[in-house]
Structure 1
Amino acid sequence: MTEITWEEPFCAEGNSCFRIGTDADGNAFIAIAGQEDTYLTDTREALSTLIRDIKAGKADHLL
């Protein structure tokens, strides 16, 4: 099993809280707070790109 170091949960108004984590192999993880056993994983670079794109509004059409 992968040893994941989770950050504190991030919660937006009216939305589910999520957590970002990393492991010693350079992978990044994102999960809903309280459901860390079910996560999405990719490289740290890919997760950083995802977060930057969301902040830039590139995923607004999904809301």
Structure 2
Amino acid sequence: MTDIEWEAPFCGEGNNCFRIGTDADGNAYIAVAGQEDTYLTDTREALSALIQDIKAGKADHLL
């Protein structure tokens, strides 16, 4: 089992809260807060790009 270090939840206004995590191998994870056992994983760079696009308003409906 992978040990994932989860960051504090990020909550959009009136929406679900998400958490980002990383492991010792440099993989990144994203999950709905409270459901960290069900997550998506990719490289840290890919998830960072996703988050930057969301924050830039390109996909704000996801949060």
Could you state the TM-score of these two structures normalised by the residue count of structure 1? 0.88
The yes-or-no answer on 1:51 pairing with 2:51 is: yes
Please tell me the root mean square deviation across aligned C-alpha atoms, in Å.
1.0
Greater relative CO, 1 or 2 (CA 8 Å, sep 6+): 2
Gaps of 5+ in 2: none
SS at match of 1:35: coil
Q: Which structure 1 residue ranges, 4+ long, deviate > 2 Å from structure 2?
A: none
The yes-or-no answer on 1:20 pairing with 2:20 is: yes
Aligned residue pairs: how many? 61
Instruction: Give the structure with the higher percent strand.
Output: 2
| Higher deviation after alignment, 28-37 or 50-59 | 50-59
Could you state the TM-score of these two structures normalised by the residue count of structure 2? 0.88
